[in-house]
Amino acid sequence: MPSFLAALLVLVSAASPGGVAQPPSRLDSARLLQKVDAIVKNAERPQPAPLVTTVTEREVNAYLAHDGKPHLPAGLTEPRIIVLPSLSLSGTAVVDLDAVRAQRQSRGLLDPLNYLTGKVPVSVVGRLEAVNGAARFHLETAKVAGVPVPKMVVQELVSYYSRTEANPHGVGLDDPYPLPSRIRQIEVRRSGALVRQ
């Protein structure tokens, strides 16, 4: 289940812009977990049935706020993703740059992470392409503490937070990655997404 939820974290959350929205509830998070469980169980069948699951921004936000914290990498807090009117995704989080810098080798005087310290808000905007069982995120803009930063800064953060024992260098920002649980497509919609198995 955690790998599927990690894929969803790339996807959608947050209340729709405009208007006053109630904060996501534990009930919303429970709804998402039930949907994830149904997707995972369907994928475990010898011949999974075609399944289309609607995942809402509110449900994913609720999961991030209430049940997702144990699954988040250390040093990353307050994650939130908003589906913009263009269907691009705007993701924000607070990142502990000191922890990132302590775990990586400096690339010299021109390394931008040498000049950023502390816990800072990081935001990215981009488009998710998720078809034929693979996903790719196309970065459009990125900011650290409100200041625009080049793609290589985002790549350093993604590499740091996506490292595993099997992949010690982490994920390349431009690399496609396989969707879990036999998911074939994720279609971003205005208030969430359709997940197709």
Element (H, E) at 90: strand 89-96
Q: How far apart are the first and last CA of the chain?
A: 15
In this prediction, residue 18 carries a pLDDT of 40
What is residue 13's predicted lDDT score, i.e. its pLDDT? 35
Q: Would the pLDDT of 144 be above 60?
A: yes
Q: Is 171 helix (H, G, I), strand (E, B) or coil?
A: coil
- Res 113: pLDDT: 58
Average pLDDT over residues 135-151: 92
Structure tokens at 189: 């919609």
Q: For residue 196, which phi and psi values (nearest 5 degrees)?
A: -110, 130
* pLDDT tens-digit map of 12-62: 333 333 434 577 899 999 999 999 999 999 999 999 999 999 999 899 989
Task: For residue 21, give both structure tokens.
Answer: 């929205």
Is the distance from CB of 36 to CB of 71 less than 8 angstroms?
A: no
pLDDT higher than 50, residue 157: yes
Domain map (residue ranges) of the chain: 2-196
Kindly report, residue by residue over 71-104, the tens digit of the pLDDT.
888 778 898 888 999 999 998 999 887 776 666 5
Structure tokens at 177: 């990655």
- The stretch 186-197 carries a mean pLDDT of 93
More confident residue, 34 or 155: 34
